[in-house]
Amino acid sequence: MIVKLLVVAAVIAVAVWLWRELFGSIREAPFPCRTCRHCRKLFDDGVRCGFGSKETFKNPAQIGMCHDYERR
């Protein structure tokens, strides 16, 4: 009985994970930059950041190490 419950719980967990992987990105922004004051535009593969008149493109690796985040 316990084994059956564990199997059902595992199947549900995998189904929820798969659902979030496939459809979660439609509702959620891909990067946390949307609330940053330096964010100029979001793209699927990165963001364009602006500091004064200077703009730069950051890829996901750079976004993960970003030290310039400032909340709007």
Please state the pTM of the whole predicted model. 0.54
pLDDT digits (tens, 9 = 90+) for 1-28: 889 888 999 999 988 887 777 665 444 5
State whether the Cα torsion 31-27-21-4 is positive or negative: positive
- Predicted local distance difference test score (pLDDT) of residue 58: 94
The residue assigned the tokens 């964010």 is 39
Of the candidates 12, 48, 53, 55, the residue with the CA atom closest to the CA atom of residue 33: 48
The kind and range of the H/E element at 43 are: strand 39-43
